Amino acid sequence: MTDAETHKKKMQKIQAEHRARTREAVDPRRALVLVHTGDGKGKSSSAFGVIVRALGWGKRVGVVQFIKGKWKTGERQFFDKLKEGVDWHTMGDGFTWDTQDKDQDTRAAQAAFSRAESMMASGEYDLVVLDEINIAMRYDYLAIDAVIAGLESRADRTSVILTGRDARPELIDYADLVSEMVEIKHPYKSGIKAQRGIDF
C-alpha cells in the first residue's frame, strides 16, 4: 500500500469508530456537571471559552466568581460590555490572602453560593459557572455537602462548571466530567510577570 492508501484506511477506521460512538450516544437525563481542577493554566479560561460556545448557540449563562473580587480582568470587561446573555456576579472581597479575615470570607462565600443556588435552581440558565469555588471549599468557607445539595437541586436544563485547584474528592465523584489541568511549564517559574490579556 502507498502512504496515501495507508492513511485512507486508517482514517476510515477512525471515522467508523467515531460514527459508531456517535450513533449509540444518548443525551444525558440532566444537563452536565463539569469540574476543571489541577495546578495548571486553563481552568477558568476554559470555562469562559465554554460560555462563548453557549452564547454562540443563543443560550443563557450565569457566572459567580468566588475569588477575584476586586481585580480588573479582561473577561469581566468583555462580558460587561457584551451585556447580552450573561449574568455576572462577583464576590466582593478579592483574594483571601488580601482580606485575611476568615469570618468575612466565609460570609462572602456563603452569600455568593446562595446566589449561585438560586441561579442553578431557577430554570432560567443553560449554563452556570462557579469560578474558583473549589478554593472556597478548600479553605472551608463552603461545605462540600452544601455545594453538592445545591448542584443536585439544579434545574434539569442547567449545566454547571466548577473551577479551581484542589477540587474535593466528593465533587469529583459527583461530577459527570472532570478535567485536570497539569502544569508542565510555567513562565512565572522563570520570573515572568502575569500578562494582561493572557493571565487575567
Tell me which residues in 30-69 interact with a copy of itself (CB under 8 A). Answer: 31-32, 34, 36, 38, 40-57, 59
Which of the ranges 63-71, 89-97, 107-115, 144-152 carries the binding residues for a copy of itself, by CB under 8 A? 89-97
Q: Based on the shown chain and the rule CB under 8 A, indicate whether residue 110 belongs to the binding site for a copy of itself.
A: no
State the Cα angle at 181 between 195 and 120, rounded to 5°: 95
Q: Based on the shown chain and the rule CB under 8 A, indicate whether residue 194 belongs to the binding site for a copy of itself.
A: yes
Residues 6+ apart with CB under 8 A from 36: 42, 43, 44, 46, 47, 161, 162, 163, 164, 179, 181
- Choose which of 159, 162, 164, 171 interacts with a copy of itself (CB under 8 A): 159
Q: Based on the shown chain and the rule CB under 8 A, indicate whether residue 1 belongs to the binding site for a copy of itself.
A: no
Q: Based on the shown chain and the rule CB under 8 A, indicate whether residue 181 belongs to the binding site for a copy of itself.
A: yes
Cα–Cα distance between 138 and 190 in angstroms, integer?
A: 27
- Choose which of 62, 64, 66, 79 interacts with a copy of itself (CB under 8 A): 79
Q: How far is CA 163 from CA 27, 65, 98, 116, in A?
A: 24, 10, 20, 14
Which of the ranges 15-23, 63-71, 117-125, 144-152 carries the binding residues for a copy of itself, by CB under 8 A? 15-23
Size of the site for a copy of itself (CB under 8 A): 86
Which amino acid, 92? G
Alpha helices in 123-154 (DSSP H): 133-138, 144-152
Tell me which residues in 122-141 interact with a copy of itself (CB under 8 A). Answer: 126-127, 139
Phi and psi dihedrals of 47, rounded to 5? -65, -40
Nearest distance, CB of residue 2 and a copy of itself, angstroms: 10
Which of the ranges 107-115, 116-124, 148-156, 187-195 carries the binding residues for a copy of itself, by CB under 8 A? 187-195
Nearest distance, CB of residue 57 and a copy of itself, angstroms: 4
Q: Based on the shown chain and the rule CB under 8 A, indicate whether residue 70 belongs to the binding site for a copy of itself.
A: no
Q: How far is CA 187 from the centre of its chain?
A: 23
Locate 126 and state its grid cell: 443553560
